[in-house]
């Protein structure tokens, strides 16, 4: 089992996109990339903690590759939007890939470069690629929010 962590806007719909993939064994939403220990949702929403809303997942690389997870990540949000996705605005909604290994960093960098070269977007891809730091699990009501509150919705 391996671990991957992605930030692509509000974590509810992003978690649902990954949770339903064959080979993803578990997901959790929370916060990463900031400077506050054990932050609350209310603190992260101020934008002052430096954390991004993230989906932290465990996956079976025999069933789904890290590169395939990146394809879902890129498709789930607009990676040219600096610090916002849709109606959600702030650094907590930034596009980021938090890498747990050097191999993940290289695969992510290659994937980002290929996306930029593809011409799919007119603007630059602003997604951060950084080493993973501590993961702070969000409050329980955020976990699998779409599944619990809007069954059948594949959220966005």
Separation of alpha carbons 125 and 51, rounded Å = 20
In this structure, is the dihedral angle defined by the CA atoms of residues 19, 112, 74 and 43, taken in order, positive or negative? Answer: positive
Buried b (16+ CB within 10 A) or exposed e, 9-31: bbbbbbbbbbbebeebeebbbbb
Separation of alpha carbons 136 and 33, rounded Å = 10
The active-site residue out of 10, 45, 99, 153 is 10
Separation of alpha carbons 154 and 156, rounded Å = 7
> Does the active-site annotation cover 10?
yes
Separation of alpha carbons 23 and 119, rounded Å = 30
Residues recognised as catalytic? 10
């Amino acid at each position: 089992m391996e671990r991957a962590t992605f930030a692509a806007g509000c974590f509810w719909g992003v978690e649902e996109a990954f949770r339903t993939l064959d080979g993803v064994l578990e997901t959790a939403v929370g916060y990463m990339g900031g400077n506050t220990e054990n932050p609350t949702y209310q603190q992260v929403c101020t934008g002052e903690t430096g954390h991004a809303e993230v989906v932290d997942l465990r996956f079976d690389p025999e069933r789904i590759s890290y590169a395939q997870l990146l394809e879902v990540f890129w498709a789930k949000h607009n990676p040219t939007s600096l610090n916002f996705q849709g109606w959600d605005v702030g650094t907590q909604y930034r596009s980021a890939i938090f890498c747990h290994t050097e191999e993940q960093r290289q695969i992510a960098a290659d994937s980002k470069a290929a996306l930029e070269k593809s011409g799919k977007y007119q603007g630059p891809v602003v997604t951060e690629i950084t080493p993973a730091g501590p993961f702070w699990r969000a409050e329980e009501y955020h976990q699998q929010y779409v599944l619990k509150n809007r069954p059948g919705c594949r959220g966005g």
